[in-house]
Chain A
């Protein structure tokens, strides 16, 4: 016996990952609009969102001034919480998603007798974007990541800023911050649907004295 139905669906970990990216994309646009309305520089709320990618930096090879940060959402792993699962149709998974926030720093004159160091600029950029992303994801607006009924809860398990390897010194100063987002969600799977063997109709009635009668009709021929 095989599964009768075509498996033509996404698992929820994929949908959760996609939803995290969709939320970030919607919010960077919204925040830029809000910043503009308040007379602030909207580019400070801008970042590009990618799924399971890490090489969008290609575009910075030839562009000396492009600084738009990059946010990459990727799925890491999950484990099954057996205590909150049943083994037939629904399991609760504790998933780990990483949100990497890349900042590019550009060394430049401060307009006076000093300069803005590119390495520090990169760190502050990475931290600034990490801050934006954490505030978006942990906003009460997204308590269930727009997936109530699937997502149990979400929280930032870890936040870290990476130290760059320093064996070489590329012209681009790049730093990254990582938010490790723990998300608990349900996973489901195709279910066996049994064949109908026989139809039975039954009637339950109660007499005046409270006695209950069960009457069933079925073909015995």
Chain B
């Protein structure tokens, strides 16, 4: 196993670690409506939004990180933001620390194909 494969395996193991790590259950629903369960990381932090008025407003930056190998194994492509309103977006669901189920659409996908991780930036999906 080369260093590249080892790095990918380590990253995947870290992402999938629910017992002593930061992993949590994440459900990804593809545009066909099929749902798939994964374990990955999640971030939900505050940030500032500038609508370019020079006046910053409070916002939240939410993303999840998944192992690309897990997606490929499940027969999925790497999720991406869906620009076509005639199609369903990729949907990501998980439960926060306080038991609240949260549902988001994928707004932007940032894959790292060298390390085998994709970070999905999310937007509120109602």
Contacts and interface: CB of A to CB of B under 8 A. Distances in A.
A172 B89 contact: no
A176 B55 CA distance: 11
A170 B88 contact: no
A65 B107 CA distance: 17
Interface string A159-178: 00011110011111111101
Given A61-B60, A118-B105, A102 B51 contact: yes
A102 B57 contact: yes
Contact of B61 (A102, A106, A168, A175): A168
Nearest to A70: B57
Contacts of A169: 61, 107-108, 121-123
A219 interface: no
Nearest to A122: B51
Interface stretch (A2-10, A50-58, A196-204): A50-58
Contact of B88 (A57, A60, A106, A109): A109
B123 A58 contact: no
A65 B57 CA distance: 17
B125 A107 contact: yes
A108 interface: yes
Contacts of A108: 125-126
B123 A107 contact: yes
Contacts, number: 119
A170 B56 CA distance: 13
Given A100-B55, A115-B125, 5 more contacts: A54-B56, A61-B58, A108-B126, A113-B88, A115-B82
Interface of B: 46-47, 49-53, 55-62, 82-89, 104-105, 107-108, 121-126
A107 B57 contact: no
Contacts of A172: 49, 59-60, 123-124
A65 B126 CA distance: 7
A120 B50 CA distance: 17
Contacts of A168: 47, 61, 121
B52 A164 contact: yes
B59 A170 contact: yes
A204 to B, nearest CB: 65
A171 B89 contact: no
B88 A114 contact: yes
A114 B87 contact: yes
Contact of B51 (A60, A116, A164): A164
A55 B58 contact: yes
A211 interface: no
Contacts of A206: none
Give 10 closest A-B pairs by Cβ, nearest first: A54-B55, A170-B59, A57-B57, A162-B52, A169-B121, A176-B51, A108-B126, A114-B86, A107-B105, A171-B62
